[in-house]
């Protein structure tokens, strides 16, 4: 999603993207092969006056790492290493360094990670309060962590 104004105006251009998400959290979506416990959203923006320079730098990066594109986009698999740190090599380090070099003081960056199980747990127990016997904050956390970890 792109929210933009005239390049010559004082204003900002923002892009929004999110991880694969399910409209419902149920047994079927939890058991799906592409299910993730986390919902991730990212918003990136810049002042319209810097648009040309920033897009030019990104396009250079995109051209350099063309082989990592999927449907002309970078996806999580572009960064996620198959065997974690054991997969790190010169090419992967170069990719990550070049990617992080794109982010400077001209870039506005926001990201959010929300655990879906924690969200549901908080909704279920939203009216429960801490008492002398039960710390509901810790109980909600423990339930969320257990369900996320063990997928009962």
* HEC profile of the chain: CEECCCCCCCCEEEEEEECCCCCCCCHHHHCCCCCCCEEEEEEEEEEHHHHHHHHHHHHHHHHHCHHHCECCECCHHHHCCCCHHHHCCHHHHHHHHHHHHCCCCCEEEEEEEEEHHHHHHHHHCCCCCCCCCCCHHHHHHHHHHHHHHHCC
Residue 21: predicted pLDDT: 67
**Which has more confidence, 90 or 78?**
90
Split at pLDDT 50, 70, 90, the class of 87 is: confident
Residue 56: predicted pLDDT: 94
Split at pLDDT 50, 70, 90, the class of 79 is: confident
Split at pLDDT 50, 70, 90, the class of 5 is: low
pTM to 2 decimal places:
0.67
Mean pLDDT of 52-60: 93
Tell me the domain boundaries of the chain: 2-150
């Amino acid at each position: 999603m792109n929210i933009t104004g005239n390049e010559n105006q004082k204003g900002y251009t923002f892009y929004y993207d999110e991880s694969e998400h399910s409209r419902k959290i149920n047994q079927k979506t939890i058991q799906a092969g592409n299910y993730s416990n986390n919902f991730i959203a990212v918003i990136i923006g810049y002042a319209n006056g810097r648009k040309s320079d920033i897009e030019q730098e990104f396009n250079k990066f995109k051209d350099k790492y063309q082989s990592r594109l999927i449907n002309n986009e970078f996806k999580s698999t572009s960064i996620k290493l198959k065997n974690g740190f054991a997969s790190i090599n010169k090419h992967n380090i170069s990719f990550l360094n070049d990617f992080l070099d794109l982010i400077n003081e001209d870039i506005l960056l926001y990201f959010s990670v929300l655990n879906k199980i924690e969200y549901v747990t908080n909704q279920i127990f939203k009216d429960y309060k801490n008492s002398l016997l039960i710390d509901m904050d810790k109980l909600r956390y423990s339930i969320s962590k257990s369900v996320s970890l063990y997928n009962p």
